[in-house]
Every structure is written in C-alpha cells, then in structure tokens.
Structure 1
Amino acid sequence: MTVRIRGIYTTALTELFRGDPGVVQPSPPIVDRFDAEFTHEPATVTVETTADRQGVRVTGEHDAVQAVCEELGAVGRDAFVWPDPTPRGAVYDGAVTETLGGGAIVDLGDGEGYLPYGATDRRIEDGDGLRVQVDEPSPPWSDDRPTLDTTIRAHGSLVTLVRGETIEHTGPELADILPADPVDGWGSSWHRHSDDASLDALGDALERANDRAGALDDALADAPAPGDDPPDRHARPTSTAWVWFGRESRFALDEARDAVTATMPGHHRIKAGSRSASAGVDLAEAVADGFRTGEQDFPFAAVTSQFGPTAGDTVRLDHGKPDGRMYTLGDAAVEGVEPDGTVTVEREMSPGGTYDALGVDRRAGDVATTKVKEGRWWYPTVYEGADGTKRGTYVNVCTPVEVFPDAVRYVDLHVDVVKHADGRVERVDDDELDAAVEAGHVSEGLAEKARSVAKAVKHGLE
C-alpha cells in the first residue's frame, strides 16, 4: 500500500505514514525536509486537504482507504471519519430533478449530484435520464453537491484513462516506450507529476488504469439505456472517505510535524483558518528556522516562496532616477528564483532604435535576459538575437536591488559598464553621475560607492 499526500497536513501525515504505508510522489518541500528515499510509483491512496482546510479527502482502493482512515481517525479524539456514499469515479444512471442557471441537479439514488451544462453536449431538462460519473466528491460538512461529468474516466495517481478517447494526451517521454497501450476505446491523460516516475512505475500505473477501465467496460456492457430506470449505480471502482480534524487532532499533528521541522504552536490550527494565515505561518517558521541555525540574513527564500515572485510570474522592472522620477523598463517573465536572492527574468524586445551605449540596433525577436540579486549594487542584462547571437551586455550600477512580488526596484546611479559583442569593455556615463552630484541628487558618499562598483564590474568583465 502506498499513499500520496498533498495540502497543509502533508508534513505531519508523511511522518505518520512514511513507514507503513509508504509515501510516494512527494512534493519538493517534503523531499527537502525528510532524510528519506521516496519513489514516484503509483499510489493506492491519495490524501488531499479539503478546500476549507478542515480535514482531508481520502480516495483510492477500497481496503487501502479503510486502512488509512483507521490511522487518521486515531490521530486525536476529535477526528471523525465518514465514508462517502458517492465516491469519486462511481458511475450512475441518474435522473434530473431540477435545472438551474449553470447546471442540473441529478438524483443518483445514493445522493444528489450537480452536473454543469458544460459537461454534456445535450440539452438537459427535468426528468431526463443521464449516465454520469462522480468527478469531484464533496465533504459531508459542506453544502455543495458532488460534481458530475458525462465523460467516463478510469482515474489513477499517475495516469487517467478517458473512455471514447483515441488520441493520447501529452505525457512523459518514457510513456512512448511502454510495452503496453491503453485498452481499446480509451485514451491516456498523463498527470504532470508523472514526469518524475520511472519506466517501471509508469508501466505499473498504466496497468492499474487499464484494469479499472476494463472493469468499467464490463460493468457498462449490459447496462440498460440511461433513461430506462434511473437512478441506478453501475460501478464503484474506488472508495472515498472524509476525515474531519478537530482542535485536539490538529495539535497532535503539530507534534508529528515538529519532529521533522520547525513548527510553531498551533501550526495546523492557524493554517486551518485562512490562506493568508497559512502563508503567515510558513513565513514565520522559515524565518525562525533561520534564526535557530544562525542564518541572520534577510530570509529571501522564505519571503519569495510565500509571496513571490516565483518562476512563471511576471514582474516590472522599476528603474528609478536620483531626481525622483521612475520609469518602467517593461514587464519581464520570471525564469528562475534562487535561494541566494538571484532572480532571472526575460523580456522580448520590440524593434526600433539602438541599445544604450552598445550602439547596436534593436531587432524583432531580440531577447534581454536580466539577472538581479537582492541587495546587490549592480545587475547585468545580456541581449541576444533571435538566432541566439550575443549582441552585448549592459551592466547597470544602482542602489541595492529589491525584489518585490510584482516588481524589481532600485535607483539608477548613472554610471554603467558595457561589454560589446566583440569583447570590448568600457565604462560609460560618469559625466551623468558627476552632474547628479553637482545638482544635489546624489551624495558624494553614494557617488563614490557607485564609482567603486563600476570599477570592480569593469575589472571583472575584462
């Protein structure tokens, strides 16, 4: 038995389950926190924090779900376990009892579900019979109904098979050399985290999904037409259960988590309150852990991991001037963020004009790659053509860079250093810095710092 865990209870539950059953498909923070070897083989059970953070949803093979829930129910006296009568993946012939603005209420016999109109191609009216599958169950303490779909899927932890699909969705490269294919009449949709799995794990995942798809085919082979005698359940390939954690249980989970990493009192109690509170807890613990290990510097990694920017975000380059003006050099895509405070961003340049001090034309397809580092007095931008040809490097000397969630900010100190495509290095705009000092916009002490930085940068580029 193997379990995949996600959400605010992940560290504590990984500590609880990493011996038996084994934890698989860990998130990056879990890999960092645990001195253990994890695999990416298929999970027989998935444990996910509910949207309201009050507990977890447990979904998977019937016996495995029961075993995991017994462990979770023993976490504290105020932990409750409720099996779901309409588990994820269950297939029904349901009867439409009410049509609403965005979807229909469907009687499943075991309960009611909600079918969005976008989940079917046909027009829905009261009294219609439909074959549906539970796509997203809903916890019993919620007012929501489980969400239904008319597309039948064989769910898995690495791959999901889709009935009626004939073309495979994009998946990991290793999937192309698997010895088996999806069963006839089904297409494969590989999950994002399948990229980390081994060939054996992918093969095992596809085999399990094929077994579920075959069982669904068998269950539906002799089923009557959906409108003949609804409601009726045809298949229940997996189980779903819900676990509610009370206050005592949350504090018990705190103890389990504290055995692994710095955990403030009431960690899970606070996180269960709101997303903003959850982010605050993560920041406080990351900072406290740094203090405890003697790392007294600004906790850049902790701050950016909670508030951004992260890879894939977009930030502005706010270019301040000593006279108080500020220009935005443009929006840039964040390509990478390093724990030491280095952030790499890219901009696609528009054609027209020339690059300052480099004396080369701006062309369509040019890309500017900028590396800034929190607290550093300079940053380089490398300009490349569409064919990858380097067109020059411009190093901006400035006040210490600050990396905010939506912008990189500093004040330009005029003097800069450029490296031409032919390797020539020169220092430029010293006269502008001298003029700013004379105008009272830059102090002599700040100007001396700028000049010393420019000298060091020039020496480093030569």
Structure 2
Amino acid sequence: MSLADVYRLRIRGIYATALTKLALDWGFKVVQPTEKIAKRLAIDRDVSPPDATVKDHESKTGIVVVGKCEVVEAFLERLSQYADPFIARARAGVKEVFAGRAVGEAAVEGPGGEVYEVPSRYVLTPGSVGVYTVAKPPIGPHRGVAVPEIVVDGEYLELNTTGRVTYSEHIPPEDRLRLRILAESRLRQYATLGLRFKSSARYADEEALAREAESLYQELLALSKGGAPGEVLRRGSCLAIALFDKWGKERLDDARASVVPTARGHHALRAQGIGRCVDLLDYVGGDVYEKAAEYLAKGEVAIYHVKPWGDVVKMRGESIGVRGGVLVVKRLLKPGGVLDGIGVEIGRGYYALTCIPRGAWYVVHTYYTPDGRPVGTYINLNTEPEWGRRVYYIDLLVDKAVTQQEEKILDLEEFKKYTAFFPRRLKDPLAHAPAGRPQCTENGLVDISGR
C-alpha cells in the first residue's frame, strides 16, 4: 500500500507548488488543492478532508505542519532528506484534552509535568482538578496555553463547550449561510453547546455533518467525566515548524523549476511580499536574484531574526548602503535596559550599526553613543542572510560579544538544549564565526584586532 492510499495532505502558501510536487513524488495524496495548483500539476480536484495541513509560517521563511502524527512525521522525514530544514516539534498536541491540576490562579499542570498558562478570563482554584484542552501547544522554550473547556476535533466539525457557533475563515459566505441554517436546525442541540465548522465542512453533505456531530457529542460526554491529574484523555494533532535557510529555499526552487519556469531565488523573493513581481522575474528568466535583493534593501529595512522554534524578532532600521559586499543598516535604540552581552546601559541617542555580509554566516551589531563612540560589538551567528526590504536569517543561538576589555561566547547552553532542532549541516555554529574582532562602521566591516 502506498502513502497515497493512506496519507492526504492539504498544502497552501508560497511554497505550495514546490511542496505539492515533492509530496506527489513521495507518494502522498494532495487534497483540496487550489485551482492554480490543480491545473499546474494536473491534480484531480479531490475535496476529501486532509490528514495533515501544510501552510506558511508567519515569517514566510518556513512552514507549519499540523495533523495526524504519523502523517506529519512521514512528511517531515522526507522533507528533511530533501531540504534539511530546522524542525521544531510541539511537546503536546493541538486540542489535546487532559486532566490537569491548577497550580495557582493562572496555570495548570498537565501530562509529564508540563505547565500551561491559562487565560485570565478563567478563574482557577489552586489545587483543583479539571478537564483542559490545549489551545496553543508548548514549543521550544515556551509554555503552552490550555483552557478549562472540552474540545473534540473531527474532520468537518469541532464540538466544544464554549456555547458559540463559529466558522473557519476559509469558508466563503455562500457556504457559511448554508452551514448557519444547518446549525440552527438539524444541528441545533450541538450548536447550543458549542460548534465550529472547519474549512472542510464546506464540501460535506448534511448527513456526513450530522453523523460526525453525534459521534463527537458522545465522545465529549465521555471526556466530561475527567480522569486522574496528568492523564491524557484525548490525543491532539501533532504540530511542527520547519524553517528553510537560503540553501533549503534553493532546493525548493529546484523542485518548483521542474514544474514551471522559476527564477533563482524565487522563494526568497516571495518572502519579501512583492507578489506578482516575482511572477514577472520567473517569466523573464535569468539570474537576477542578487541584484533584485540588493535593490530591495534600500531605505527602510526590517531585519527578521528567526529563532529555530519559529519566534520572530523584528528590528527596523535605515539602510546606509552596500559597502564591499556588506549591507549596512543603522538602527536607533530605545533608551533603558542593558545591551545584551556588552553590559552597557542604553542611553538616549544610542544607535547600532548592523553589518550584514553577503555569503557569510553571521551578522555584526556595533553599538554607539550619540557622539559616535563605539561601546561594544555583538556578533550573531546565523544562517546566510537573505537581503531585501526584509532581511531574513535563522539564529544559530550561539553568539559572541566583543568589548575593549574582553571577548566572550554566549548562549552555548541554549544551543546544546535545542541542537535537535538544527539541520544536519549546522551542528557546529562556532565554525561559522568570523575571524578577528570585527566592528561594523558606516564603511562596512573592519577588524580591530590588536588595538
């Protein structure tokens, strides 16, 4: 039996063409494709509900995969072999239902001793035991979020205890009207409890929706009896984040190019949010990526510092220009606080010059007083930066701080803690550190060794 007989994927976002081509090659069945993708890859319009969904990560430099655990893992295994991305797996399932014990007024302890935050709209009695559903699973260094509600998730519907009827944002108005009428008639007893129509509900007939609603209702009744503290009462959907560095995106460019004309750097440029301009570059052809990226990196620039587990730290500044293959960005610093690793308090008028070398695996931030005196340099080790009006790189977690007094390596323990998230190619971040004592200036990078 092939994967296509078992595993159904729904794929959306800026990587859809490449990932759909790969998924089909790997033996998955792609369902609910967009009209463009279906035509482009000659896929039959199968509207079956998916076993897992692949969609853009908020940073646009990767994807989120969520669904049945065996399907998520099968897809990630093949993706790892092809594009070798960073992969962060959540430590609990989405909408996992468990029996938990309140540990304070805004937290609950769940399976394995994992502590979840509980939104402030709920009032907990410390020590009390209840049934909770994971609203946001824990990933990386972050706690998850759980609510003292019961949610049971099916293929078309979600039954819950919120007392509201809601709809997926992907259900168009004409289908939403039909489903609303159904919720107010045949499904009324479930709607008064709490009902959410998932995006696949638009393709289901009335009988299928009614059968699933009754099945979920019976399951919800059983879950309401609770269990021992820490017991998983219902498994949730597995969730993972896969992030692509420049090399990984180039691999996806190759996959896309086997289907339609694709300019080098297609996916890196799509992440810049320039829409149909990328389609034009694909059509024209030629190697224009580096020139296009440099052109985009003018004026105001946003630096997307992406953590291996998907957090995005955005830094905004003004591009000074390209100096010897280095993009220089000036950033004004907010007064207050202390410069990380440097130990200097940030005063009014302090600023940073950030040097982003093309082809290197680091970014250099040098901090200055209002009169232009450097007070220290922070070297961030990361994947090869992608230039543009959005500068992208994925943090390798290990950094270096350089002052006149000392030079030190930072965050080695954090790297060791999350090394399992890293691609096979990037298990030794310090191998990518620059030599000497680099400093970022308006004229680019200089080495201040020996001063």
TM-score (normalizing by structure 1): 0.48
- Greater RCO between the two (CA within 8 Å, min separation 6)? 2
Give me the TM-score of the superposition, normalised by structure 2: 0.49
Question: Which structure is larger by alpha-carbon Rg, 1 or 2?
Answer: 1
